[in-house]
Amino acid sequence: MNTVELLLDPGTEDEVRHVWEHLAARGEPSQRHHSHPTNRPHLTLAAADVLTAAARQELRGVLEGLDCPAVLDGLVRFRGRTNVLAWRVRRVPGLLAVHAAVHDALLATGCEPDHPLLLPENWQPHITLGRSRRPAWNVPDDQLLPPGLHEPVHGRFVAARSYDSRTRTVTSLPAE
């Protein structure tokens, strides 16, 4: 599987990493513990089995010069086989437009998006803070965020990448 992901400006990425550190210091599951070199704060827009050359070319037009609002506002928990704690990303018009354009580019080039939760009508934008196979984060939200981070964080999405789950590698988008 190949994803299309947005990356944050350096200051906002530092804020996310600060939360990772805070969770780890509390003994909570945190992305801080995920040591793979590709691990960094990101927002997943789409996933497809393969990103063809044609899809990458279409994505170039969508993602070139990316500068999109990123408003991190409140925590969200996803329960399932793997439990996830995430920072909710507001569905602002600029972000929704980029998300829709990425999906349109994939569909136009025959790269069928294959994750139903990433389709525009189902998408809940978020940045993962921690993952756990056991129950976790059983405290109020205000204890999970460091002091001073209880108001929305305003930043920008300024770059994009693709993660290949088969090779566990990333490629910048748009690629040269």
For 74-83, the pLDDT digits (tens) are 999 999 899 9
Q: Where are the alpha helices (DSSP H) in the chain?
A: 10-25, 53-63, 93-108, 141-144
Query: Rounded to two decimals, what is the model's pTM?
Result: 0.93
Closest CA to 4 of 50, 39, 67: 50
Assess contact for 36 and 155: CB atoms under 8 A.
no
Q: Tokens at residue 159, please?
A: 């770059």
Eight-state DSSP code of residue 86: E
User: Residues 29-82: pLDDT tens digits?
Assistant: 999 988 887 899 999 999 998 888 999 999 998 999 999 999 999 999 999 899
CATH number of this structure's domain 2-164: 3.90.1140.10
pLDDT at 142: 87
Three-state SS at 116: helix
- Ordered by start, the domain boundaries in the chain are 2-164
Top-ranked range on mean pLDDT: pick from 5-9, 107-111, 164-168: 5-9
Q: Quick one: which H or E segment has residue 15?
A: helix 10-25
Query: How far are the Cα atoms of 25, 133, 148, 150, 152 from residue 143, in angstroms, in the given order?
Result: 12, 21, 11, 10, 16
The Cα 46–Cα 10 span in angstroms is 23
Q: Tokens at residue 20, please?
A: 């990772």
Instruction: For 107, list phi and psi in degrees, rounded to 5.
Output: -65, -40
The label of the residue with tokens 């349109």 reads 104
